[in-house]
Amino acid sequence: MRVVSFSVPTWFPPRTGEKARRAEVQLTDQESAVFLCLATGASNAELAVELQLSVSTVKFHVHNIRAKLGGISRLQACLLAALARESAGSQEPGRPGADPLRRVPAARRG
């Protein structure tokens, strides 16, 4: 299993009462696929059809994504996904800038 690292922008508002947020979030391949599709604002049922998953699997991944991003709302997750897609799409080879979705190897389970 590979893990995708996503950087939450520092300007993104934290939850009420939250002081600090992890700057980087580790998403699995499945979670990152669901995350990027959230940018369209599609429902769980629409995401399930697009990704060829069951609705319950999509719900599971959306719940995990929101939790990993600090318990943000679905709307906030959609906004972050749209920003990630825009940043990834505007990146050209050879241009400076951090890739918002950077693949990192997963830790081996023992």
Q: What are phi and psi of 16, to 5 degrees?
A: -55, 130
Give the least confident one: 2-6, 65-69, 100-104: 100-104
How far is the first Cα of the chain from the last one, in angstroms, to the nearest whole number?
Answer: 14
Instruction: Please say whether the beta carbons of 21 and 31 come within 8 A.
Output: no
Q: Which band of pLDDT confidence, cut at 50, 70 and 90, is reported for residue 100? A: very low
What is the arithmetic mean of pLDDT over 16-41? 78
Pick the CATH number of 1-9+32-91+100-105 from 1.10.20.140, 3.30.420.40, 2.40.50.840, 1.10.10.10: 1.10.10.10
Q: So where are the chain's domains?
A: 1-9+32-91+100-105
State the pLDDT at residue 72: 86
Q: Residues 55, 81, 63, 6: is their CA dihedral positive or negative?
A: positive
**3-state secondary structure (DSSP) of residue 70:** coil
Higher-pLDDT residue of 86 and 31 is 31
